[in-house]
Structures are given as structure tokens and as C-alpha cells.
Amino acid sequence: MSNTPQQLIEQAKAAQAAADVALAKAQAALAAAEKMADGAGAAASALTGGAVDPTIFRFAIFVMAIFVGYYVVWSVTPALHTPLMSVTNAISSVIVVGALLSVGVALTSEGTGFARASGFVGLVLASVNIFGGFLVTSRMLAMYKKKG
């Protein structure tokens, strides 16, 4: 049994709403994780009497976050994948702002050439990601338009 275009649009809207909720929860979890990482790093450093740098603890939390992120992304259902990715591609705009700041670093001190080159590469990659996200979203929405 095939769905009507109106039903498909309603399903897409529901998927978009679910993706927005998932994104908001992920952002809240990230903020909480950052606070916990800073606190855990400082606490572990204090417990060891400063023998272990807090950066090591933060790095361990970062590695664990990679694994958690991997399993979270791969557990997303296919119905939510495209709306969720189109929303998360908008996050690349933050990367663009940071890359523009990096590219605009004045050549007043040594070592700014690497920062400018890294910023330029980041700017190009984030721009491609944003543009591709808009293309995918446009193509997805075109599937729901009536033909003829």
C-alpha cells in the first residue's frame, strides 16, 4: 500500500521534529560532557597530586566520546538519517566562522602561516559540507512534489 503525498509530507515533518529533538538533546549532552570533562580532569589531577596532566584525562574522555558518537550515529534509523544530517550540516556554519577567523589572523607573529592554511582548508571543507547538505535536502524535498 502506497502512501499519499500528504502522508509522506507529514511523515517527513514528524521525522524533522524528531531530528530537531535529537539534535537539542545531543547539544545538551555535549555541554554537560564538556563540564564533566573539565571537572573530571581537574579532580583526577588533584587526586594524583598533579602527577598526571588534566589534558590526558580530557583526551581519554574525547576518545570515549568518539566511540559513543560512532554508535549513536549508526543507530539512527534510515527514515531519520536525511533530515538529521540536513540539520547537522547547518552546524558547519560554526566551523566556517572559526575558519574565517583563522584565515584572518594577522601576519604579526611567527607561526601564523599554518593557522591560515588550516583555516583555509577548514573553510573549503565546511563550505562543501554545507552546500552538499543543501543539495541533499533539496533533492529530498523534490521527491515529495507532485509531478505534472
Q: How far apart are CA 65 and CA 99, in angstroms?
A: 24
Same-domain status, 72 and 94: no
Cell 547547518: give the residue: 90
Q: How far apart are CA 75 and CA 81, in angstroms?
A: 10
pLDDT of residue 9: 77
Q: How far apart are CA 130 and CA 37, in angstroms?
A: 29
Q: How far apart are CA 30 and CA 83, in angstroms?
A: 20
Mean per-residue pLDDT for 18-30? 75
C-alpha cell at 30: 555535549
Q: How far is CA 84 from CA 66, 89, 101, 137, in A?
A: 19, 9, 28, 10
Query: What is the domain count for the chain?
Result: 2
Cβ–Cβ under 8 Å, residues 100 and 123? yes
pLDDT digits (tens, 9 = 90+) for 73-95: 777 776 676 666 666 676 777 78
Residue 147 has pLDDT above 60, yes or no: yes
Mean per-residue pLDDT for 105-126? 77
pLDDT of residue 82: 66
Structural domain range at position 95: 90-148
Cβ–Cβ under 8 Å, residues 80 and 15? yes
Tell me the whole-structure pTM to 2 decimals: 0.44
Same-domain status, 30 and 100: no
Where does the pLDDT of residue 108 fall: very low under 50, low under 70, confident under 90, or very high at 90 and above?
Answer: low
Residue 112 has pLDDT above 80, yes or no: no
Looking at the domain assignment, is residue 84 inside a domain? no
Where does the pLDDT of residue 7 fall: very low under 50, low under 70, confident under 90, or very high at 90 and above?
Answer: confident
